[in-house]
């Protein structure tokens, strides 16, 4: 669970315009093309390879050439993903690249239902060599847990169809695959799309999910990777996951949001949830939000996270929630604040076979 004040996050192009000096200093590592997905970036940000070709992220028409949805679904290695406060802005991606020594292969960002789809954000992610992971939250500016105006019943009955159809058509028009994480952490009670809130009832979540999925299919927005993403069981005790699952024909990846809140290992946080999920589905698993609260346990928790990823079948990647408290995190989850945690993070990345970077046809096969 990670309850946020996400309304202050946007927009990446404004951040880019205001952070010229920082971007200039940090963009060099983003120009490096990988070698088998295992490129190294030193602490000064110096690249080791040449600059990949591509179009301008500011170009509203030309898009970076991508792979197909099918190719992204089953990566040749593990996706290293990150969610930063201003993602997918260049500056924050570059800072993570320098701190971790690796280029992120996935950039996660968030938007509510008061915004149209941003093709520019998806393009900006691909321009940086990363798959865009959009967390799409069915509410607007309010962060209240109870919002009947955005009830699951209204979504399933078609009250928002004009918005959803417009959004789906915009996704189709962009012509690039995106990973779409709709109404995450639905098994908790801190969002309006919980079946405990907003006048929702048992079964409403699945009806809403399937309705939205079917609208995307109807307009031909078929390059979407659908990510169903519950919270770790520890944060939502007593809520079974299977009744909330839309079914394998409606889901491509299963996400798990699992944070350390003082535990010594990531395994004890994440494994029980994965065990529960594998009872009803064997879809690929993505740790769609993860991180550890600060404290003496944080380096060990982080090291164990990478050991867990390496030994667990069917895990195709993880997204580290790189936010401070001021940026909306419940805690300061940034891996590079604590030197021991940073070392564990870098060592953990070194231990994994990462998917090639960039995640575009420029990547070595």
State the pLDDT at residue 327: 82
Distance CA 337, CA 258 (A): 20
Question: For residue 171, how far is the Cα from the chain centroid?
Answer: 17
Q: What is the pTM of this model?
A: 0.88
Q: How far apart are CA 90 and CA 195, in angstroms?
A: 37
Q: Is the pLDDT of residue 365 over 70?
A: no
- The DSSP element (H or E) to which 256 belongs, if any, is strand 253-260
DSSP H helix total and E strand total for the chain: 11, 8
Model pLDDT for residues 2-38, shown as the tens digit of each residue: 544 443 344 443 344 334 334 444 444 344 333 333 4
CA-based nearest residue to 83, from 277, 314, 287, 262 = 287
Question: Mean pLDDT across the stretch 160-164?
Answer: 98
Residue 121: φ, ψ to 5°: -65, -45
Instruction: Tell me: pLDDT of 342 over 70.
Output: yes
Per-position DSSP letters for 44-76, written without gaps between them: T---SSPPPP---TT-SS-------HHHHHS-S
Q: Is residue 53's pLDDT more than 60?
A: no
DSSP secondary structure, 80-124, as one string: EEEEETTTT-HHHHHHHHHHHSS--SEEEEEEETTS---HHHHHH
**pLDDT-derived band at 52, boundaries 50, 70, 90:** very low
């Amino acid at each position: 669970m990670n309850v946020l004040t996400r309304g202050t996050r946007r927009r990446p192009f404004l951040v880019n315009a205001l952070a010229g000096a920082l971007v200039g200093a940090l963009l060099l590592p983003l120009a490096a093309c990988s070698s088998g997905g295992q490129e190294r970036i030193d602490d000064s940000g110096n690249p080791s390879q040449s600059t990949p070709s591509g179009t301008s992220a500011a170009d509203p028409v030309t898009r970076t050439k991508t792979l197909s949805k099918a190719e992204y679904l089953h990566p040749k290695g593990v996706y290293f993903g990150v969610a930063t406060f201003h993602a997918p802005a260049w500056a924050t991606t570059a800072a993570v690249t320098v701190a971790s020594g690796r280029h992120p292969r996935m950039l996660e960002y968030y938007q509510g239902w008061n915004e149209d789809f941003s093709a520019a954000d998806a393009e900006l992610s691909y321009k940086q060599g990363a798959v865009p992971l959009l967390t799409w939250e069915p509410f607007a500016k309010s962060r209240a847990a109870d919002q009947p105006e955005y009830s699951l019943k209204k979504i399933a009955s078609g009250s928002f169809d004009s918005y959803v159809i417009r959004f789906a058509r915009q996704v189709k028009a962009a012509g690039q695959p995106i990973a779409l994480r709709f109404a995450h952490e639905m098994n908790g009670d801190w969002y309006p799309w919980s079946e405990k809130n907003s006048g929702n009832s048992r079964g409403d979540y699945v009806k809403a999910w399937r309705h939205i999925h079917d609208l995307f299919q109807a307009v031909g927005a078929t390059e979407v990777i659908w990510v169903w993403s519950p919270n770790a069981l520890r944060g939502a005790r007593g809520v079974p996951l299977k009744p909330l699952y839309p079914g394998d024909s409606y889901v491509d990846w299963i996400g798990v949001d699992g944070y350390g809140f003082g535990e010594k290992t990531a395994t004890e946080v994440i494994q029980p949830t994965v065990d529960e999920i594998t009872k009803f589905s064997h879809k690929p698993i993505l740790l769609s939000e993860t991180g550890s609260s600060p404290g003496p346990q944080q380096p060990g928790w982080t090291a164990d996270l990478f050991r867990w990823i390496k030994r667990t079948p069917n895990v195709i990647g993880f997204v580290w929630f790189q936010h401070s408290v001021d940026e909306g995190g419940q805690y300061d989850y940034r891996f590079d604040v604590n030197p021991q945690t940073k070392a564990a993070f870098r060592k953990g990345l070194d231990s994994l076979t990462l998917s090639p970077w960039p995640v575009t046809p420029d990547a070595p096969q």
